[in-house]
Amino acid sequence: MGNFLAGKVVAVTGAGRGIGRAVALAAAADGARVVVNDYGVAVDGASPTSEVAESVVKEIEAAGGEAVAVADDISTMAGGQRVVDAAVTSYGRIDGVVCVAGILRERMLFNMAEEEWDPVVATHLKGTFTVFRAASAVMRKQRAGTLIGFTSGNHQGSVSQANYSAAKGGIISLVRSAALGLHKYGVSANAVAPVARTRMSANVPMELTEIGEPEDVAALVVYLLSERAKEQGVTGQVYTIAGPKLAVWAQPRELRAAYTEGSWTPERIADFLPGTVGVDPMPLLERVAGMEKAAARGDRPNA
């Protein structure tokens, strides 16, 4: 228990279970009043129930904190708006939003159906947009606020979750856009790529060598929501937290450039590219090849 978030109002999506629940409990324990959003669905997004959001509100209240439940689907504009409205109506302001809600529908790209693509992208990417959109309108007027998106190491690429990977990559670009567009209004935006034991990570078809608990992730989120992170100028960043490990991801940038005289043609590029700009090797390709070999031997691969 601390007072990192004393007086603040924070909304957390996907706060009924796993990492979102740990974030909501930690934010409340550090003094925030919390909007607990959860649609209460299965890992694949099916079978909603309002009970999980309400039960986390009860946990926060039992510990002496203040919280309200919103059991809406944040992949809709109205759902995202209601999460923010609940904060403003109940507590008069919104200082931070943390978009943790997520689902999985795993399938190889060549077999993936529209019903597997659309809900995954809608929950992660649009579900971050709907809440950022509603919150940033209030934060711009307040001239203060913090937006936090949840991405994944899988934004680098994924063998069997192209939908999830694409959505998580999109969240990073959305967060960086929010950081750029809202900087002058005193609003920061950052992304977290966690690795923690939850029902979702239990589905990963490999042994995760670097993994922690949802509470580790919550500690990072509480810091990012706090005045300390604001004073330290933290915005536009992507952090991984995995048990004892805390890491920052690089900003995307051009690696090498070369220039031609006159115009490019496909043939000139074919002659010129290998010895000049070349390629940037993809580490995950090597790891995947190793995993395929291990699987062929019957071992459970490590990540």
Ligand X SMILES: NC(=O)c1ccc[n+]([C@@H]2O[C@H](COP(=O)([O-])OP(=O)(O)OC[C@H]3O[C@@H](n4cnc5c(N)ncnc54)[C@H](O)[C@@H]3O)[C@@H](O)[C@H]2O)c1
161 touches ligand X (CB under 6 A): no
Neighbour count for residue 214 (Cβ, 10 Å): 21
Indicate the residue among 120 and 229 with the shorter CB distance to ligand X. 120
Indicate the residue among 6 and 246 with the shorter CB distance to ligand X. 246
In 97-226, which residue ranges form alpha helices assigned H by DSSP? 114-121, 127-142, 162-182, 214-225
- From the candidates 39, 91, 168, 226, give the one annotated as an active-site residue: 168
- From the candidates 164, 165, 188, 239, give the one annotated as an active-site residue: 164
Strands 238-242 and 245-248 come out as antiparallel
CB-nearest residue to ligand X? 18
Window 217-276: residues binding ligand X (CB under 6 A): none
Residue 171 near residue 151 (C-beta atoms within 8 A):
yes
Compute how many residues bind ligand X; rule: CB under 6 A.
33
Interacting span for ligand X (CB under 6 A) from 54-62, 89-97, 188-196, 230-238? 188-196
Q: Which one among 80, 96, 194, 236 touches ligand X, defined by CB under 6 A?
A: 194
Window 5-64: residues binding ligand X (CB under 6 A): 13-14, 16-20, 37-41, 43, 45, 52
Annotated catalytic residue 164: yes
Task: Specify burial of residue 288 (Cβ count, 10 A radius: 0-12, 13-18, 19+).
Answer: middle
Annotated catalytic residue 50: no
Task: Specify burial of residue 197 (Cβ count, 10 A radius: 0-12, 13-18, 19+).
Answer: middle
Annotated catalytic residue 168: yes
Q: Which of 205, 147, 208 is nearest to 179 (CA)?
A: 147
x/- track of binding to ligand X for residues 80-119 (CB under 6 A): --------------------xxxx----------------
Q: Is 173 left (phi over 0), alpha (psi -120 to 50) or beta?
A: alpha
One-letter amino acid of 170:
G
Least Å distance between CB 203 and ligand X?
A: 9
Neighbour count for residue 84 (Cβ, 10 Å): 25
Q: In the structure encoding, which two tokens stand for residue 108, read together?
A: 């190889």
Least Å distance between CB 296 and ligand X?
A: 26
Residues that bind ligand X (CB under 6 A): 13-14, 16-20, 37-41, 43, 45, 52, 73-75, 100-103, 123, 127, 150, 152, 194-196, 198-201
Give the active site residues: 152, 164, 168
